[in-house]
Chains A and B, each alone.
Chain A
Amino acid sequence: MKTIYLDNGATTKICPAAEAAIKEANEKFFANPASIHHAGIEASKRLERARKTIANTLGASPEEIIFTSGGTESNNLAIKGLSFQNPSKKHIIASKIEHDCVLNSCKWLEERGYEITFLDVDKEGFVNLQQLQNAIRPDTLLVSIIHGNNEIGTLQNLQKIYEICKKKKAIFHTDACQSFTKAPLSAKMADMITINAHKMHGPKGIGALYIRKGIQLTPLAHGGGHQQGIRSGTQNVAAAAGFEAAIKEAQKQKKQIKNMQNLRDYFIKSALKIPNSTLNGAEGNSRLANNINISFAGVEGESVAALLDMEGICCSTGSACASKSLDPSHVIMAISNNSHERAHGSIRFTLSASNTKKEIDFTLRALAQAVKKLRKISPLKR
């Protein structure tokens, strides 16, 4: 059975260029970049070259880029690091559709005396800007809003959000793990930006946090004072090199974003021909180029995903049955006025540039069959 991988929002296959860069770095630059000998200096140079590429991509300077282990760590560092550094301000704003690592960092702070405002989103998943403006108070330390939503693909208007934050003197952080290299993103759009490598064909285990010059963070890991003391720990030169190579590869293939968008829109249009189906998230340029998320009334997502898996198709679902907590997707709940049926019946497909129309056609057929089969045995009348 051939695998049709449509779960690139979960993770991607590493690209050959990144693999080659990792291999080269492991061979030539294995020394500790903090060491004072020539081998260490060479490793440090290789590491800093990667940092510079990432900085350039965002229009930032290299000192503003801190490598981390990935998106979760970057988000934790931004939120907790800023909070620990500024104990006098105890109000944080986030949206209701943040990734769990942002939500749970905020909730963890909430248990420790912080006040968190979770902003509503509209039915397409856009943050209510007026509500944001009204929510910012003199003691608001941070606003953290995800750029491209990992479940429903909605891309927030970062410029507008940042304008409001600047005007009202709150620091703005965005989690851009899904959108990095897939949508316009720069250091002009936020004070802190989380990015990672494995969502864009780089290696797992490395990410970065852009931190605007002047913003101080308390480190979460204390140690040898690496990376300006913000993130101690021997740096992973090879992973950084792989991250850099994946970025360069993505930049070479800008045309592929357009192709991916076309394939996405074809998928959405065709899948919505299945009766009683609803698109989750925004459309067009306000949607991640690779994200498709559709709810099918009367069926449960895990069962749909299981039937597709039997045909070799990898996808994911917002159903509670597939989650570890038995709670349905908080993102779909937030955009659907808490419709359990929408959340339980949601299926997410996330493309990569290498997916073909043939694969999508095969998937669409399997999807229609799966929904039909499950509806036949569903007690819910549709």
Chain B
Amino acid sequence: MYNKKVISRFKKPKFAGEIKNADAVGEVGNLKCGDIMRVYIKVKEGKISQIKFKTYGCVAAIASSDILCELAKGKTLEEAQKITGRDVLKEVGEVPALKVHCSILAQNALKKAIEEYKKKSQ
């Protein structure tokens, strides 16, 4: 059902956890749909210096959260904001059609975190 990359990222995510003194946090999803994703970021000199996630959801949701974090780390806020669901999916590789939805949720959580950060620093 899932490709090797998805399975290995699900099993051993590199960015799972939380940042205690995060500069911003973004959350999407709800219990009804069965996916909740929270992304924590720390920003240094306009770039995402640290990023972590907490996800309630299926294998695809957890693996794609991890992959999103990897894509975003080190990027400027502007670059990170531009990451699309398609970018994440490209990295994730093939997922079952019904899982596309869970695979593109994480980037919305990141966008929210960046928006929050920008609002705070205004």
**A1 close to chain B: CB less than 8 A:** no
Partner of B56, one of A307, A310, A320, A378: A378
Partner of A321, one of B11, B17, B37, B58: B58
Q: Are A303 and B31 in contact (CB under 8 A)?
A: no
**A341 close to chain B: CB less than 8 A:** yes
**A36 close to chain B: CB less than 8 A:** no
Contacting residues of chain B (4-22) with chain A, CB-CB under 8 angstroms: 7, 10-11, 13, 16-17
Mark the stretch among A224-232, A240-248, A294-302 that contacts chain B. Answer: A294-302
With CB as the reference atom, state the residue of chain A lying closest to B10: A306
Which residues of A are found within 8 Å of B59, using beta-carbon distances?
302-303, 306
Instruction: Report whether over half of chain B's contact residues are helix, strand or loop; otherwise say mixed.
Output: mixed
Query: Once bound together, how far apart are the Cα atoms of A319 and B98, in whole Å?
Result: 13
Which residues of B are found within 8 Å of A303, using beta-carbon distances?
10, 57-59, 62
Taking the closest CB of chain A, its distance from the CB of B51, in whole angstroms, is 14
Count of A-B contacts with CB under 8 A? 68
**A379 close to chain B: CB less than 8 A:** yes
Which residues of A are found within 8 Å of B36, using beta-carbon distances?
378-380
The size class of the interface chain A forms with chain B is 20 to 34
Which residues of B are found within 8 Å of A310, using beta-carbon distances?
11
Q: Are A379 and B27 in contact (CB under 8 A)?
A: yes
Query: Once bound together, how far apart are the Cα atoms of A307 and B8, in whole Å?
Result: 11
The size class of the interface chain B forms with chain A is 20 to 34
Contacting residues of chain B (95-118) with chain A, CB-CB under 8 angstroms: 98-99, 101-102
Partner of B34, one of A324, A344, A376, A377: A344
Q: Are A341 and B31 in contact (CB under 8 A)?
A: yes
**B54 close to chain A: CB less than 8 A:** yes
Contacting residues of chain A (315-330) with chain B, CB-CB under 8 angstroms: 319-322, 324, 326, 328
Which residues of B are found within 8 Å of A298, using beta-carbon distances?
56
Which residues of B are found within 8 Å of A299, using beta-carbon distances?
56
**B73 close to chain A: CB less than 8 A:** no
Query: Once bound together, how far apart are the Cα atoms of A300 and B33, in whole Å?
Result: 11
**B55 close to chain A: CB less than 8 A:** yes
Q: Are B102 and A377 in contact (CB under 8 A)?
A: no
